[in-house]
């Protein structure tokens, strides 16, 4: 169930990468995809957290393998390498930047029960909607060459 759910969203993310000419729009599409994946089904988060608690488990391996075979990480790295070569990005470690972008998106959903209490979040959907653009803005303004 987890891998099939992920496969659909990975395909959506891959289509964003292939269809978008604008570097920034790729990340906006990725944020949308993460919000759709993790924001729409609280049961998915619970199952995923349970599986992540066993980092040597089969499901963790299957998820990692699915993502790697999708070529999404490879394509994002190539896209960012090209942007870096053209001077659009400053000299950054691209893999570290991508890992940060992913955790900025997913971390909110994994930590939501604590964040809800800490920041008095009343409206989950409104917060998710605002978060998508906030994460993209923070990420891009942290890596764009100015």
Look at 4 and 117; give whichever has higher pLDDT: 117
Average pLDDT, the chain: 87
pLDDT of 25 above 80: yes
Q: Spell out the residues 6+ positions from residue 66 whose beta carbon is closer than 8 angstroms to its own.
A: 3, 6, 7, 10
110-119 per-position pLDDT tens digit: 899 999 999 9
SS (H, E, C) 4-43: HHHHHHHHHHHHHHHHCCCHHHHHHHHHHHHHHHHHCCHH
Q: How far is the C-alpha of 16 from the C-alpha of 115, rounded, in Å?
A: 29
Q: What is the pLDDT of residues 81-118, one digit of tens each?
A: 999 999 988 899 999 999 999 999 989 988 999 999 99
> Which tokens is 112 given?
């939501």
């Amino acid at each position: 169930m987890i891998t099939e759910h992920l496969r659909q969203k990975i395909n959506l993310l891959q289509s964003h990468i292939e269809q978008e000419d604008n570097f920034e729009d790729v990340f906006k599409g990725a944020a949308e995809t993460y919000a759709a994946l993790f924001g729409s089904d609280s049961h998915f988060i619970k199952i995923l957290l349970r599986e992540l608690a066993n980092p040597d488990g089969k499901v963790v391996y299957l998820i990692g393998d699915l993502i790697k075979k999708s070529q999404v990480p490879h394509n994002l790295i190539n896209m960012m390498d090209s942007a870096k070569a053209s001077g659009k990005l400053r000299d950054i470690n691209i893999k570290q930047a991508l890992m940060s972008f992913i955790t900025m998106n997913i971390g909110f959903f994994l930590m939501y029960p604590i964040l809800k209490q800490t920041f008095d979040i009343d409206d989950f959907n409104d917060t998710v909607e605002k978060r998508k653009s906030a994460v993209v803005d923070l990420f891009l303004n942290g890596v764009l060459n100015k």
